[in-house]
Amino acid sequence: MTVATETAYRSDMTVAVDVAARRAAVSGCLDMSTAPLLVETLSALLHFGEGDIILDLGSVTFLDAAGMSSFVQVVNRLRPAGRRLIIEAVPERLGRLLVLAGLGFLVGRPTSRAHLAAVHSAPSGKRNRARESGHIWAL
């Protein structure tokens, strides 16, 4: 079986997309100059099948506020269709940043005990929201 894949490229970031699986893997810097490409690429996946969109951040080397904002933009486009954005393979340093920014609910599962510790060490308000959304994990 042939799997349709696409690659969106910018000098600082690459997004490899498996259209059939509705899965994208980002590598490089996700910042204000590259975030629009990610939003455009993930939004295009809305037109291919149904179900959630999986985003692999395992090869992301840098993430700023604009990059995190891109996740929110995609979630807002998916939500009316009853779909979700699920972030996987989150490096420890980014996992803690997502939790502290209140975006820990997007992470599909932790990749390490350190990520779990980051969730538990987040300020109590964010930690409580994570618990309420069901995203406190036990390894």
Place of tokens 């590598």: 27
Question: pLDDT digits over 76-122, tens only?
Answer: 999 999 999 999 999 888 988 999 999 988 887 544 455 445 555 55
User: CA angle, 17 as apex, 41 and 86 as ends, to 5°?
Assistant: 80
More confident residue, 54 or 93: 54
Q: What is the pLDDT of residue 27?
A: 94
- What domains are there in the chain, each with its CATH number? 5-132 (3.30.750.24)
Bridge partners, 16 (sequence order):
7, 25
Bridge partners, 117 (sequence order):
none
pTM of the model: 0.72
Q: What is the pLDDT of residue 12?
A: 86
Q: What is the pLDDT of residue 117?
A: 56
Question: pLDDT digits over 18-44, tens only?
Answer: 999 999 999 999 999 999 999 999 999
